[in-house]
Structure 1
């Protein structure tokens, strides 16, 4: 394409090589002849944006690999000498290698702009919004004790909660807290997009039904307003910025200043922008990115983006697949139509032939207007949504473009098992029996290549239990949490003892762990016998001094004497040295390094003492995760959201009865909260509820598509058919049954 501003939109289904093409585009832009003195500026002028740190790292590795292959003559896409020189240059100027997540890009821009404005950029970032809201809620509860007005308000909120949520039981505070957190988080973590005002707007107060729907939530609205004040006070007091909040701040800064000048002041000079997974971008992020793209295009730059609306599964956090078409057609009027190019990738490089054909047919069924009508009839037994045609049109726009060819010779296998059952418990028993049997069979052939995909982590934990009972090795999201590592459990117990030597339960737990196993001075059998005898834990420290004087002195006493004299990080390093943890547990090196990184992070956050660190560990530190280990012979169990972008030889989706529920608390386009009840709500609120519900239906269809396209060789899915259900609430398995009726068996689709 000749010089000048241009937009290239690459539309591609799963497995079509979208990220590969994005990396190739980067290589093409990078390996242009530029004067030696301008190389750094040229490298900095190319920006690729991803949505996860893992994707950013993989993109960097992929580009370096492509450069190496060209430098060695394995590929001949770029002059070998030019490729070699760019590898060296990138390695020496790695910080200018601009492949960033959208969050890291926007946050680095914010820090630079704040510095230019004379504001200290030392901001503590937290993505743990729930923790901030919970701390603020606790503070509000503590004020209730001395504030009669606040106490009465909480009573109203509890009554409102019990009436609307129709909950029973004794854990009211827990459920109420969860509901308030969910309402507070609508659209933005700061809650700024939710209206908490006391008096209803005029158009609401003049409509009796709408006023009633608004009035029912008055206690919620009032308490949320007070909670928002507490959150603001907390983040101002502690210098915290909530993850994602910088998008709003940047938008305001861009509105108030000359954008080109602001970007110039912070040394941001990008000419070529590439955006991966555009369908996951939300409106607020795009409004900021659009300004940056506009600036690049004004200087003759380019925008290149890739996406797939069928993989839009982040609607719950604002992801908007419609932004892609809008960006291509409308957002940049300075780019003439002939310089806007849209291309489709129609070859699947991932899956076997039968899997590709199954997914082609799946999309064909979903794009059929008659099937859209069928879904509406299935989900709405009474009055149909006014905008049902919009739902059908959305299905067509999302799914009509899939007609992939298969590049692989392997056939692949699809197996769908229809499982009739009365109650859910009966279905789960049948799934357990079939899944365990099939996984054990496939594990012989693919010990490193099986994934089980679920909707919720809780489902994954249950399935993990099934497989563990049969001694099939498993890796889950929870098993990767630091607090689940046995070695760290023992280490944290030791830290608790060092923090308070009177905590003999912590001492007993540390000694019982693998931490002290076979250490000189603590003979394993004698130590085990002592711990079994001393289950009451009282007097344990004294007994250790008497029975294991050498071990007690060399380890426990030696470490205790250093508490208070070493920094937190130095103390943890001293523990690893004294107990020789890296030498004794070579398989735990990654876990120990990750723990020390966490300790270092805690110190940077201002946590200095051992007791502060242990509190930090209990609240959030232990939730940090290890990276997924490569090459481990174990079955991976993960959510479909986590599996996006990944591929596995064998994939199971065992639970497809995903709930499809209408929300009874909704927000309109102006941010007003309403309680919507089917028998009393005004028509426009019922329609708002229906549209929200249908958007969740589409997201569930997208989730199934993402799950079905992770498989390379074999795909297994189990479908629950409730033989006793005659009507009532539908779930996703009802839609899936209708889809499967329409898929042609000649494509290798086998029912059990």
Structure 2
């Protein structure tokens, strides 16, 4: 049999036996060797502790079963045995004997079975080189970045009042945010800045980054303000000249070509300071200029005399595109400028705190390895490990970040150079962790690697596609094949469509199974709550009318608050629920409303907190004119009492600033007519009592106390195996269930995955590097960054759907509102034979 090349890459779709393949390659390598301890030279890298434990368990179980232990519980052990015998050319007796010997070696040297998460492997590497990295040998590892940064921000706040420059920066930042009608709370903005310092993106640009003192920030802001005023003033003067010319000539809007929606609209927009009109003047304004046609059917005699001058003004305005782009870029930079001033201080506090507490963040380790060793010393760092590991197997490669892969490449290169087998397994269609730094294009681009050893990777490369689905019934497989083939073509750009090239799967299951995609009625404007109620009713029917076991059902959600609402509904109908996110108090709409009310009473004139409260109130009580009220409160500068009165609540929120927390909460429960028997509300009231009896009562405000504990507060339910599972789509990855229900109210990606980008503005504004909102790059010379993020976020969205739709074994049910008229990317399913117009439902059965 021909030996495959040493760099094996398996593209494994959902349910196609990825872990089986990974285990098979591991066992094949171990069985080829005459050394029963050769397994010590195999490094298998996974991305979760659960996956690492599952693979270890599989390896031991396969070896146990193949060697003759009939108590093994693995149903696929006979398939594994047959596959290994065929590949290795071993007889039944030989393979049983060899597996028994290897099993004995592993059980007596279990600590040397190197199936590790990538974080554990890199941590082991860092500890191995602690002295070279100038680390104390007993340093502690901090996994919770959020908690760590909360401590850093506390240290920053402690310096306010002592450090004059920092104090001035904070005060001016506050004033700037309030003037721009943003929240007066700085925590989110500062924490976002601190998080960006820990990102891989910052690691790659930090050499070109320079710190700015508060004085430099103030000077920069004055310069940016001056530049925007100059650009805006110049545009307004030109535009006003055109409007004055029209007015003096006695010409009215009806006399101009296309009336108020033509060139006149263009002049009015630019005169008001709307710079986007220069970049997109509108088709009617363009037609006026191209056709040189200015008058309407009224044929006003003055048009002839002013048209030449109007045309020249319009052309002069359209020649200001560079200035308009600069205006938008300055605006984007101005909004984030104060954050730039905090970076130096935050960086110092982060390093000082790590040294004083002798801790390192888990996210530090990849940067340490890359920064210290992966240049000219790359062979040195892997010299010790290169002797230890001959074969590298990497699971879930689509979840690898750029930095993680760059750190692993030298190890794989070392192995390939000796013609040793290496394996990569993954599925770019299941890449849903880009917000954590993963780059699925690294997988789709293989064997291309950004490394001098690229030719070695190319010459060693052999690709396999696993296209059999062992998980799902035939109708589910057929539905996913058809849906994602069309959907990916509709929403992905050509640069990303190769992700779905190897989509089509063959079903192995003999079961037919069913798919139901339910849509709410199209007669009225559907709300998210309508689709959720449809799902709740269907879940109740599946259990009560179709006699399905609750324990067979898993319900998947994109948003935790939707999961919490669904879980509450199940509990009210006495159905058991197993969940993590949906049982957290903070994700319950009623509790979120109570917290938002307490917060808004503290910031009773802050439009940010008032709009947030209105959103939470709308979620629980439903307001007919929600959007109108949201605009009105901002325009008329309402306080919290005004807003409460507007929604029909006769209550003075000032009463919430005094008194015991339990009493205040009870009053709000009564005011909002919340269900006092709701387990979430009861648990929250218990928490209020705990706060008042705790040592924190005299030191910490209730809201700060809540912020500290909210991530861990949940209602406790008795363990019930016959309970509906409720979880996020992200948490469901790698799992499978007999029945899967997916809540998908909107068939659109929503916000971009990453809405912040480090951008060099040295040429444009003299700023080396700064973090900008990616969405703010629209209409600037950096709009290509936004466009790329839009495309990547579309891929993230379709991948999320793929993960959700491929969890089901026998029954898949999806719940949505009809797509908007602007989004017709899924209308194609209505042309399928399985579409039922009467029930507004797609049925595969």
Asked whether the two chains share a fold, i.e. TM above 0.5, the reply is yes
Paired position in structure 1 for 2:843: 750
Paired position in structure 2 for 1:701: 798
Q: Which of 38, 48, 54 is the matching residue for 2:50?
A: 54
3-state DSSP of counterpart to 2:465: strand
Deviation of the 1:301 alpha carbon = 1.5
Query: Which entry has the higher C-alpha Rg, 1 or 2?
Result: 2
Say if 2:400 and 2:439, in contact at 8 Å, map to a contact too.
Answer: yes
Residues 1:633 and 2:633 aligned together: no
Deviation of the 1:227 alpha carbon = 1.9
Deviation of the 1:702 alpha carbon = 0.6
Residues 1:738 and 2:827 aligned together: yes
Paired position in structure 2 for 1:407: 508
Residues 1:318 and 2:432 aligned together: no
Residues 1:231 and 2:350 aligned together: yes
662-671 or 400-409: bigger deviation = 662-671
Paired position in structure 2 for 1:66: 62
Cα deviation, 1:688-743, whole Å, max 9, x if unaligned, reads 22221221121011100110000000001111137xx776xxxxxx4664353465
Residues 1:94 and 2:184 aligned together: no
CA distance in structure 1 between the aligned counterparts of 2:376 and 2:740, rounded to whole angstroms:
51
Say if 2:526 and 2:817, in contact at 8 Å, map to a contact too.
Answer: no
* Cα distance change of structure 1 residues 29 and 288 upon mapping to structure 2, 3 Å threshold: same
Say if 1:59 and 1:99, in contact at 8 Å, map to a contact too.
Answer: yes
Cα deviation, 1:29-60, whole Å, max 9, x if unaligned, reads 1112424xxx43x2221111110000000001
Say if 1:349 and 1:407, in contact at 8 Å, map to a contact too.
Answer: yes
Q: How does 1:411-426 map to 2 (within 5 A)?
A: 411-420=512-521, 422=525, 424=527, 426=529
Say if 2:553 and 2:725, in contact at 8 Å, map to a contact too.
Answer: yes
Residues 1:291 and 2:410 aligned together: yes
Deviation of the 1:444 alpha carbon = 3.6
* Cα distance change of structure 1 residues 426 and 306 upon mapping to structure 2, 3 Å threshold: closer
446-455 or 471-480: bigger deviation = 471-480
Deviation of the 1:619 alpha carbon = 5.3
Deviation of the 1:312 alpha carbon = 1.0
Say if 1:184 and 1:191, in contact at 8 Å, map to a contact too.
Answer: no
Say if 1:361 and 1:743, in contact at 8 Å, map to a contact too.
Answer: no
Paired position in structure 1 for 2:548: 445
* Cα distance change of structure 1 residues 443 and 103 upon mapping to structure 2, 3 Å threshold: farther
3-state DSSP of counterpart to 1:717: strand
Paired position in structure 2 for 1:358: 479
3-state DSSP of counterpart to 1:636: strand
Paired position in structure 2 for 1:660: 750
Paired position in structure 2 for 1:471: 574
Paired position in structure 2 for 1:683: 780
* Cα distance change of structure 1 residues 682 and 148 upon mapping to structure 2, 3 Å threshold: same
3-state DSSP of counterpart to 1:273: strand
Residues 1:28 and 2:28 aligned together: yes
Paired position in structure 2 for 1:574: none
42-51 or 661-670: bigger deviation = 661-670
Cα deviation, 1:112-162, whole Å, max 9, x if unaligned, reads 012466743222111211111111111111211233432221123234445
Say if 1:161 and 1:176, in contact at 8 Å, map to a contact too.
Answer: no
Say if 2:829 and 2:835, in contact at 8 Å, map to a contact too.
Answer: no
Deviation of the 1:262 alpha carbon = 3.0
Deviation of the 1:167 alpha carbon = 3.9
Q: How does 1:321-720 map to 2 (within 5 A)?
A: 321-330=440-449, 332-333=453-454, 335=456, 339-368=460-489, 371-372=490-491, 391-420=492-521, 422=525, 424=527, 426-427=529-530, 430-431=533-534, 433-441=536-544, 444-478=547-581, 623=712, 632-657=721-746, 660-661=750-751, 665-668=756-759, 672-675=770-773, 682-720=779-817
Say if 2:745 and 2:816, in contact at 8 Å, map to a contact too.
Answer: yes
CA distance in structure 1 between the aligned counterparts of 2:720 and 2:103, rounded to whole angstroms:
28
* Cα distance change of structure 1 residues 630 and 677 upon mapping to structure 2, 3 Å threshold: closer
CA distance in structure 1 between the aligned counterparts of 2:125 and 2:713, rounded to whole angstroms:
26
* Cα distance change of structure 1 residues 242 and 735 upon mapping to structure 2, 3 Å threshold: farther
Paired position in structure 2 for 1:44: 40
CA distance in structure 1 between the aligned counterparts of 2:46 and 2:395, rounded to whole angstroms:
5
| TM norm structure 2 | 0.63
Paired position in structure 1 for 2:151: 135
* Cα distance change of structure 1 residues 681 and 71 upon mapping to structure 2, 3 Å threshold: closer
Paired position in structure 2 for 1:83: 99
Deviation of the 1:744 alpha carbon = 5.1
Say if 1:362 and 1:743, in contact at 8 Å, map to a contact too.
Answer: no
Say if 2:447 and 2:458, in contact at 8 Å, map to a contact too.
Answer: no
* Cα distance change of structure 1 residues 292 and 536 upon mapping to structure 2, 3 Å threshold: closer
417-426 or 668-677: bigger deviation = 668-677
CA distance in structure 1 between the aligned counterparts of 2:708 and 2:400, rounded to whole angstroms:
30
664-673 or 77-86: bigger deviation = 664-673
451-460 or 440-449: bigger deviation = 440-449
Aligned residues: 589
138-147 or 741-750: bigger deviation = 741-750
3-state DSSP of counterpart to 1:417: strand
Paired position in structure 2 for 1:153: 169
3-state DSSP of counterpart to 1:403: coil
300-309 or 59-68: bigger deviation = 300-309
Say if 2:520 and 2:531, in contact at 8 Å, map to a contact too.
Answer: no
Deviation of the 1:288 alpha carbon = 0.1
Deviation of the 1:650 alpha carbon = 0.3
* Cα distance change of structure 1 residues 129 and 743 upon mapping to structure 2, 3 Å threshold: farther
* Cα distance change of structure 1 residues 354 and 163 upon mapping to structure 2, 3 Å threshold: farther
Deviation of the 1:404 alpha carbon = 0.9
* Cα distance change of structure 1 residues 438 and 739 upon mapping to structure 2, 3 Å threshold: farther
Cα deviation, 1:81-127, whole Å, max 9, x if unaligned, reads 11111111101101110101111011101100124667432221112
3-state DSSP of counterpart to 2:493: helix
Say if 1:457 and 1:477, in contact at 8 Å, map to a contact too.
Answer: no
* Cα distance change of structure 1 residues 305 and 442 upon mapping to structure 2, 3 Å threshold: farther
CA distance in structure 1 between the aligned counterparts of 2:24 and 2:713, rounded to whole angstroms:
34
3-state DSSP of counterpart to 2:447: helix
Aligned-residue CA RMSD (Å): 4.1
CA distance in structure 1 between the aligned counterparts of 2:5 and 2:134, rounded to whole angstroms:
34
Paired position in structure 1 for 2:268: none
Deviation of the 1:175 alpha carbon = 4.3
Deviation of the 1:458 alpha carbon = 2.7
CA distance in structure 1 between the aligned counterparts of 2:175 and 2:543, rounded to whole angstroms:
51
Please, which runs of 5 or more residues in structure 2 have no aligned partner?
71-77, 86-94, 228-321, 588-659, 661-687, 694-703, 761-767
* Cα distance change of structure 1 residues 664 and 412 upon mapping to structure 2, 3 Å threshold: closer
Residues 1:172 and 2:270 aligned together: no
Say if 1:15 and 1:351, in contact at 8 Å, map to a contact too.
Answer: yes
3-state DSSP of counterpart to 2:424: strand
Deviation of the 1:407 alpha carbon = 0.6
Deviation of the 1:334 alpha carbon = 5.1
CA distance in structure 1 between the aligned counterparts of 2:834 and 2:191, rounded to whole angstroms:
45
3-state DSSP of counterpart to 1:109: helix
